[in-house]
Chain A
Amino acid sequence: MKSKAYCSNFFSVPLAMENMKRFWAIGVVGLLVYLLSGVFPLILSYDEIQPYMIESIMNNHNPGYMAAHLFLAISSAVAVFRYLQTTGSTSVMHAMPFSRKGLYLSSYWSGLKLAYLPAFLNGLVLLLLKTPVIQTVYVDNLPIQTNIYTTAAVLGWMAEVLVIITFMYSIAVFAGMVTGSVILHALTALGFNFLLTALYGTFLGYSEIYFFGFTYNQLISEIALRLSPYTNVLQREGVIQPKAWLVYMAAAAVISVGTYFIYKKRPLEKATDSTVFRFMEYFISFLVVFFGSSLIGMVFHEYDYGYAGYIFGGILGFLIGQMIVKKTMKIFDLENLKAFVVFAAIMAVIVVGFSMDALGYERKVPNPDSVATATISSYNLTPGNMPSAFSEKDNIQLALDFHQAVIDGRAEYRDYLGAGFNVTLTYELSSGRQMSRRYALPYAAIMDSDALRQLYESAEAEKPAETLAQFHIPNTQIVLYPAGYSSKEPLTMHYTDDDASNLKKQTLLEALLLDLKEMTFAELVSGRAPVLQLEILHRTKTEDRTSDAPVETYPYPKEKEDGNYRYESYSYSITADYAYTLRWISDNELSHLLISADERDFAVISRQCMAKDEESEEMWGYGKYSSIDVKPQSGSGSLVLEDPSTITLLLRDYAQRDLRSFDSEADALCLTLYRGADYQDYDMYETTDRYYLNEGDLPEGIRAETDRYLSD
Chain B
Amino acid sequence: MIQVKGLCKSFDDFTALSDLNVHVETGSIYGLIGVNGSGKTTLIKHLTGVYMPDAGQIEYDGEDIYENIGVKERLGYIPDDLYFFNSYNIRDMASFYRKIYPRWNEPRYQAMLQEFGLSERRKISKFSKGMQKQAAFILTMSIMPDYLILDEPIDGLDPLIRKKVWRYVVSDVAERQMTVLVSSHNLREMEGICDYIGILSGGRMMIERDLEELKTDIHKVQIAFKDQQDRSFSDLNILHREKRGSVELLIVRDSGDHVKSVLKKEDPAVLDMLPLSLEEIFIYEMGGESSEIQSILF
Contact = CB atoms under 8 A, between A and B. Distances in A.
B67 A97 contact: no
B79 A269 contact: no
Interface in B255-285: none
B232 interface: no
Given A15-B100, A88-B81, A94 B69 contact: no
B192 interface: no
Interface string B51-95: 110000000000000010110110101010111011110000000
Given A9-B69, A22-B85, A94 B49 contact: yes
Interface string A82-107: 01001111111111111110100000
A1 B96 CA distance: 16
A97 B51 contact: no
Closest 9 CB pairs of A and B: A14-B99, A88-B81, A88-B83, A95-B48, A1-B102, A5-B69, A97-B72, A92-B83, A97-B73
28 contacts: A1-B102, A2-B102, A3-B70, A3-B102, A4-B73, A5-B69, A8-B69, A12-B100, A86-B83, A87-B81, A88-B79, A88-B83, A91-B81, A91-B83, A92-B79, A93-B83, A94-B48, A94-B49, A95-B50, A95-B77, A95-B79, A97-B73, A97-B101, A98-B72, A99-B69, A268-B45, A268-B50, A269-B51
A95 B100 contact: no
Given A91-B79, A97-B73, A269 B11 contact: yes
B72 A18 contact: no
B72 A95 contact: yes
B81 A96 contact: no
B188 interface: no
Contacts of B87: 22
Interface centre among A87, A96, A102 (most CB of B within 10 A): A96
A12 B101 CA distance: 12
Given A1-B103, A91-B50, A268-B50, A22 B72 contact: no
Interface residues of A, number: 32
B102 A94 contact: no
Q: Tell me the interface secondary structure of chain A in the complex.
A: helix
A227 B85 CA distance: 37
Nearest to A87: B81
Interface of B: 11, 45, 48-52, 67, 69-70, 72-73, 75, 77, 79, 81-83, 85-88, 96, 99-103
Interface in A5-55: 5, 8-9, 12, 14-15, 18, 22
A96 B72 contact: yes
B114 to A, nearest CB: 24
Given A4-B73, A99-B67, A100-B67, A90 B102 contact: no
Given A91-B50, A268-B45, 5 more contacts: A3-B102, A5-B73, A18-B96, A87-B81, A91-B48
Interface of A: 1-5, 8-9, 12, 14-15, 18, 22, 83, 86-100, 102, 267-269
A102 B70 CA distance: 13
B99 A89 contact: no
Contact of B49 (A87, A95, A269): A95
B85 A88 contact: no
A92 B96 contact: no
Contacts of B67: 99-100
Nearest to A12: B100
Nearest to A2: B102
A12 B87 CA distance: 21
Given A94-B50, A95-B75, A95-B77, A4 B100 contact: yes
A11 to B, nearest CB: 12
A77 to B, nearest CB: 17
Nearest to B70: A5
Contacts of B69: 3-5, 8-9, 97-99, 102
Contact of B82 (A5, A14, A18, A88): A88
A179 to B, nearest CB: 17
Contacts of A269: 11, 45, 51
Given A22-B85, A268-B50, A91 B45 contact: yes
A93 B103 CA distance: 18
A9 B69 CA distance: 7
Nearest to B76: A95
Contact of A97 (B83, B86, B100): B100
Nearest to A9: B69
A6 to B, nearest CB: 8
Nearest to B82: A88
A624 to B, nearest CB: 68
Interface centre among A97, A98, A100, by most chain B C-beta atoms within 10 angstroms, is A97
A268 B100 contact: no
A104 to B, nearest CB: 12
Contacts of A9: 69
Contacts of A96: 72, 100
A94 B51 CA distance: 9
B99 A90 contact: no
Contacts of A3: 69-70, 73, 102
Nearest to A79: B86
A22 B102 contact: no
Contacts of A99: 67, 69
Contacts of B73: 3-5, 97
Contacts of B77: 91-92, 95
Q: Select the residue from B49, B79, B100 with max chain A CB neighbours within 10 A.
A: B100
Contacts of A267: 11, 52
A334 B82 CA distance: 38
A434 B197 CA distance: 77
